[in-house]
Amino acid sequence: MSLFVADWKPSFLQALASSVGTLRGQWQSTRALTIDTAPLVGSDAELVKNHLAGDPRAFAELVKRYTRAIYNVTYRFTGDTQEAENLTQETFLRAWNALPHIALDKPLKPYLVKIAVNLCRDWAEKKNIAQVDSLDAVQDEPTSEDSDPLRTVSDDELRARVRAKLDELPPLYRTVITLRYSEELSYEEMATALDLPVNTVRTHLHRAKARLRELLENEERTTRK
Amino acid sequence: MRHLTHSEIELWVENANVSRAAREHVAICDQCQQRVAQAQRIEAALSSIARAEPASDLSARIIAQLPHAAARPVSHRNPWLGTAMLIAALIGLLLAYQTVLDLSNNGAFELVSYYTAQPEIVTMYPNEAIGTLSAAVPWATVAGVLVVMALVLLLMIRWTSDAATQVAPSAGRHA
């Protein structure tokens, strides 16, 4: 009889634990199914919130959403595929760590670009690459020379030359042009990304284009000679 | 008016604020018209430059390198749940102790020893033997112990489940 009593309690508990385990398993399966099949849409802020709440797919979606933009920035800055990939990856790793501290009411893209640009600047410093050169020599007053030396160049040819000369600009000028024309950031967003006042960003962009124009005109004049 | 400076040409191209005098000058100055036209062509060329395209698997590689493994469960356990579990466990222990006392006071242990020493009694008079033993068992207290144990088990599962589902990135420095 004592054996009967002794066996009875564990068997009850085992049955209870088994039932609870089964129910828990079913609940988790249902939960997982719900999460996996739900479309992953939403604003950046919603994805960041989901990421912070523990949804690992939310940050993956942000990576998919911004890999091209960040790679574009890092590649234009470094001009090197491998370095650009490394810096892009590092950008997202930094963002992963920093997201708990960012303000969710601001656009995420300039913030990610800011991380990328900072990493690029660090990279340039390590490589002793000048990010800007002195443009004091760039004259604001037009010269009396030919006012449009590129007028005989076709649009396609001009595009190719612009693309080639872009690579000859200092990294920071390539970056401001990339942010403005390729990533289509506003001056305010560029200011956030570059951590500079808006007017300074505007000045950088004007100088970058002035240097680009100089390079294009000089090449055309050299070709004519 | 003098010719437009490059800065003024840039403002013109961006459709920003350009003075009326500048507009009037450009309207009559061939050189400035040509410079504006050139700047607009360069602007268009810049806008047409395609993005540098990453390798198609770069996103996947980045996602694979994210610190999922380093993501640790953060203790978001409900403190009230833990407190309730502890209280329930204490009540369960007290009830279990009370059950043992009742079994002892009712002579259940002696009865079991008696049946063990003389099993033929159980064989010959099973109904009476079981009835006597049953009368010595404090069923209400035993039921209370089982209910409280089940409650503790459920609270424990819920408590561990809460912790397992909460995963957050490790804290890091600002960008």
- Residue A4 domain-assigned (yes or no): no
The domain total for chain A is 2
The DSSP 8-state label assigned to residue A149 in this structure reads: T
Task: Using the predicted structure, report yes or no on whether residue A3 has a pLDDT greater than 90.
Answer: no
Instruction: Tell me the nearest-neighbour CA distance from A137 into chain B, angstroms.
Output: 13
Mean pLDDT of A220-225: 76
Indicate the residue of A54, A64, A140 with minimum beta-carbon distance to B166. A54
Among the ranges given (A58-72, B73-87, B131-145), the one the predictor scored with the smallest mean pLDDT: B73-87
Mean pLDDT of A109-129: 92
- Residue A182 domain-assigned (yes or no): yes
- Residue A160 domain-assigned (yes or no): yes
- Domain boundary among the residues A126, A142, A175 is at A126
Query: pLDDT class for B34, splitting at 50, 70, 90?
Result: confident
Q: Are B61 and A212 inside 8 Å of each other by CB?
A: no
Q: What percent of chain A has pLDDT over 70?
A: 74
Residues whose CB falls within 8 Å of the CB of residue A91, separated by 6 or more in sequence, listed in order: A70, A74, A112, A115, A116, A119
The residue range of the domain holding A170 is 155-224
Indicate the residue of B55, B59, B146 with minimum beta-carbon distance to A63. B59
Mean pLDDT of B103-108: 90
Q: In a mutagenesis test of the A interface, which of B2, B3, B4, B6 is the best target, namely the one with the most A β-carbons within 10 Å? A: B6
Instruction: Tell me the nearest-neighbour CA distance from B175 into chain A, angstroms.
Output: 5
- Domain boundary among the residues A75, A107, A126 is at A126
* CATH classification at residue A93: 1.10.1740.10
Judge contact between B74 and B162, C-beta under 8 A. Answer: no
Q: Contacts of residue A219 in chain B, CB cutoff 8 Å?
A: none
How many residues are listed for chain A in this entry? 225
Mean pLDDT of B76-97: 86
Report pLDDT for B173: 32
The CA distances from residue A200 to A28, A115, A123, B16, B42, in Å, are 54, 19, 22, 16, 22
Mean pLDDT of A150-176: 89
* Distance of alpha carbon A149 from alpha carbon A138, whole angstroms: 17
The CA distances from residue B11 to A199, B8, B39, in Å, are 13, 5, 10
Residues B48-52: contacts with CB within 8 Å, 24+ apart?
B48/A159, B49/A159, B49/A162, B49/A163, B49/A166, B49/A181, B49/A182, B50/A182, B51/A68, B51/A69, B51/A72, B51/A182, B52/A71, B52/A72, B52/A75, B52/A76, B52/A84
Task: Using the predicted structure, report yes or no on whether residue A31 has a pLDDT greater than 60.
Answer: no
Report pLDDT for A140: 59
Mean pLDDT of B109-117: 89
Q: Are B47 and A181 inside 8 Å of each other by CB?
A: yes
Please tell me whether residues A159 and A113 are part of one structural domain: no
Mean pLDDT of B74-94: 81
| Closest residue of chain B to A158, computed from CA coordinates | B45
Token representation of residue A103? 């303000």
User: Helix, strand, coil shares of chain B as percentages rounded to 5?
Assistant: 70, 0, 25
Q: What percent of chain B has pLDDT over 70?
A: 85
Report pLDDT for B69: 42
Rounded to two decimals, the pTM is 0.61
Report pLDDT for B175: 41
- List of E strands, chain B: 72-73, 167-168
| Closest residue of chain A to B151, computed from CA coordinates | A16
- Residue A89 domain-assigned (yes or no): yes
Mean per-residue pLDDT over chain B, rounded: 82
Query: pLDDT class for A1, splitting at 50, 70, 90?
Result: very low
Report pLDDT for A83: 95
Among the ranges given (A24-28, A44-48, A197-201, B150-154), the one the predictor scored with the smallest mean pLDDT: A24-28
Task: Using the predicted structure, report yes or no on whether residue B126 has a pLDDT greater than 80.
Answer: yes
Mean pLDDT of A53-63: 87
* Distance of alpha carbon A210 from alpha carbon A194, whole angstroms: 20
Indicate the residue of A17, A92, A148 with minimum beta-carbon distance to B62. A92
Hey, what amino acid is at A70? I
Report pLDDT for A225: 67
Q: What percent of chain A has pLDDT over 90?
A: 41
Token representation of residue A138? 């760039």
Most distant CA atoms of chain A, gap in Å:
116
Q: Contacts of residue A92 in chain B, CB cutoff 8 Å?
A: 62, 66
Among the ranges given (A86-95, A100-109, A139-148, A202-211), the one the predictor scored with the smallest mean pLDDT: A139-148
**Structure ipTM:** 0.72
Report pLDDT for A14: 60
Please tell me whether residues A117 and A168 are part of one structural domain: no
Residue whose C-alpha is closest to residue A146's, from A211, A218, A209 = A218
* CATH classification at residue A167: 1.10.10.10
User: Helix, strand, coil shares of chain A as percentages rounded to 5?
Assistant: 75, 0, 25
Q: CA neighbours within 13 Å on the CB side: how many for A7?
A: 4
